[in-house]
Amino acid sequence: MIVIGLSTHPIAPSGSRVFFAGDGGLNFWGYTNPRVDELFRKIASKEALDKEARKKMYAEISQVIADDQPADFLSFPRANIGIQANVQGIDPGMRMGWNYHEWYFAAP
């Protein structure tokens, strides 16, 4: 048995391409699906600049991968993060802490 922990953002999982595209560099299980590959190519196009179109593409990718089940997805961790009120510049965007270099303490 091998247990591997993989992580990507649940809302905009752009990092998931490396795990599930046919030519993905971290596609350890050799998963391939032409529809998933096509959707990942579309996500890199101008068409995906539209937030709703991109959301639909990722939803379809998620559904196809869930249907194919190339791996057993055991958990999807969630967390509650607490930060002092005077810490500014936080953008929870991709994942909490991704823009830590822009954080600062506001004057009281």
Same domain as 89, residue 57: no
Which residues span the domain enclosing 49?
Answer: 14-68
Burial of 58 (C-beta count, 10 Å sphere; 0-12/13-18/19+): buried
Same domain as 61, residue 93: no
Phi, psi dihedrals of residue 34, rounded to the nearest 5°: -55, -35
* In a domain? residue 103: yes
pLDDT of 46-96, one tens digit each? Answer: 888 888 898 899 889 889 988 998 877 766 666 667 788 899 988 876 567
Domain count, the chain: 2
- Entry pTM: 0.60
* In a domain? residue 37: yes
Cα angle, residue 55 at apex, residues 52 and 57 outer, rounded to 5°: 115
Same domain as 104, residue 60: no
